[in-house]
Structure 1
Amino acid sequence: MNTLNLVNEFALLFAVATPLVVLFAMNLFLLLEGERGTLMFPSTDWTPSQAPRERHNVPRDEPANDEHFRRAA
């Protein structure tokens, strides 16, 4: 009877540990292949991401709410 409890405990351990081991292996594979910032676990890279540059607004000849466009709609 004691052997069955031991098998049950190891089966539960295997069922819980298998997905975690797979996630860790996938994360390690991505890390070794050079992926940065797309990993499934948090990384130790705490550098802030750079903000995009401001685009200069270019004045348009005809705005989208022009009378011609409103009549066409």
Structure 2
Amino acid sequence: MFRQMNIRIAVTFAIGISISVITVSLIVVGVIFNDINNLYDDIIDEMKEFNAIVDDTWTKIVQFHSQSTGKTFFIR
């Protein structure tokens, strides 16, 4: 009888710990997923900014080249 009580207590404790670990793991997965999405959004925003700078620079190069030679050699 006493041994069965110890086994039940141990099983109950193990189940409780397992549920706790699974719950914490799911929360951590959610946090990591959110961090990855935020990183992706930041990278996309910076790439848009970089693309705007590149396009502006390319336009200035074409304008400079066409002013100095009178021809528009570069096409974009």
Q: TM-score range by the shorter chain?
A: 0.3 to 0.5
Ranked by relative contact order (alpha carbons within 8 Å, sequence separation 6 or more), the top structure is 1
Between structure 1 and structure 2, the one with the greater Rg is 2
TM-score, normalized by length of structure 2? 0.38
Task: Kindly indicate which of the two structures has a greater share of residues assigned to helix.
Answer: 2
TM-score, normalized by length of structure 1? 0.39
